[in-house]
Structure 1
Amino acid sequence: MGIRGGRGAQPSASLLLVSLTLVGLVLLSFTSSSSVEAQKKTWCVAKPSASNDILSLNLNYACSQVSCAVIQKGGPCYYPDNLVSRAAVAMNLYYAANGRHPWNCYFNNSALVVQSDPSYGSCTYY
């Protein structure tokens, strides 16, 4: 049986120090990236190439999950009264209500995340 001296404890102490350093760096990278992401706002809009069938499905799905009152007649986003505009507003409402994560703007690959505010006239994209 060997008896460990004072040096036998060093590898485990070094390992602990390295582990704590790595955990700290990982946590720091998460906070740094979140603060950068918080500074740039994004919106979800319909792809220009999306078919009317897909946009109709997106519109119906998004409005079943969030209030789409802004695109109803008399609402600030009713005009222009076309499927692309109405679907884009509804898709963005869903995207915003669910945390603005890229996966909340997928819509079967018929949507895009943009960094330019698509608001127009009295229609504000949130």
Structure 2
Amino acid sequence: MADAARLFLLVAVAAALAGRSDGAWCVCRTDLPDGALQKTLDYACGAGADCKPILQSGPCFAPDNVKAHCSYAVNSFYQRNNQNPQACAFTGAASLTSSDPSANGCTYPATPSAAATSNGGVYSPPTMGPSAFNDSSAAAALLLPITVAGLGTRLLILACGSLLALYVGA
């Protein structure tokens, strides 16, 4: 019975740490209107993504369109947040892919370490809400709880696993 409990604990810890897998990218949906993608782009760049490569002099400026720039920004945000799936939610404007979107001399970071910054790249919600959603849209109200919910779920799983470990060890 103790072995089964230890196995459950191991599975619980693995589930808690799941949410990042090297070689995954976050990209914007191409079926959405440019206005929605521009809000997503603005939010990602304002919340910690490295958007320098998509500036006019950057290696990822071309193609010069919202869809391409949005994908680079959300991927940077996703990577800098340790490939947390909630960091690619963007209220449904982006999704995960295992296909490398890099092209034409523009390399999308594929791992958190490739996108790391001096502050570690960890997302801290803005104090006044998402900067890209200054229009009080419903999307703004949904994005932050989704991001926070993923962390809460992992912490709950870790807490349950720790309690189980104490119970089994007693």
Match in the other structure for 1:84: 67
1:42 corresponds to 2:24:
yes
The one-letter amino acid paired with 2:28 is A
- Counterpart Cα distance in 2 of 1:69 and 1:104: 19
Which residue among 73, 81, 104 is the counterpart of 2:87?
104
Q: How much does 1:105 deviate? A: 0.7
State the shift of 1:116 in Å: 0.8
Confirm or deny that 1:94 pairs with 2:106.
no
Q: Give the 3 Å change call, closer, same or farther, for CA 92–27 of structure 1 in structure 2.
A: same
Aligned to 2:46: 64
Matched, 1:21 2:7: no
Q: May I ask how many residue pairs the two structures share in their alignment?
A: 106
Counterpart of 2:57 in structure 1 is 74
**Length-normalised TM-score, structure 1:** 0.74
Give the letter for the 2:65 counterpart: N
Structure 1 vs Structure 2: percent identity of aligned residues?
A: 32
Q: Over aligned residues, Cα RMSD in angstroms? A: 2.2
The DSSP-based 3-state class of the residue aligned with 2:3 is helix
Aligned to 1:108, the other structure's residue is in SS state: helix
C-alpha distance in 1 between matches for 2:3 and 2:46? 46
| Shift, 1:48, TM fit | 1.4
For the pair shown, the structure with the greater C-alpha radius of gyration is 1
Name the CA shift for 1:33/1:61 in 2 (closer, same or farther; >3 Å). Answer: closer
Moved over 2 A (4+): 20-23, 26-35
Offset of residue 41 of structure 1: 1.4
Structure 2 length as normaliser, TM-score? Answer: 0.56
Q: Tell me the CA shift for residue 21 of structure 1.
A: 2.3
Cα 1:34–1:59, aligned 2, differ >3 Å: closer, same or farther?
same
Q: 1:54 aligns with which of 36, 39, 46?
A: 36
Unmatched 5+ stretches in structure 1? 1-17
Instruction: Please give the secondary structure, in 1, of the residue aligned with 2:95.
Output: strand
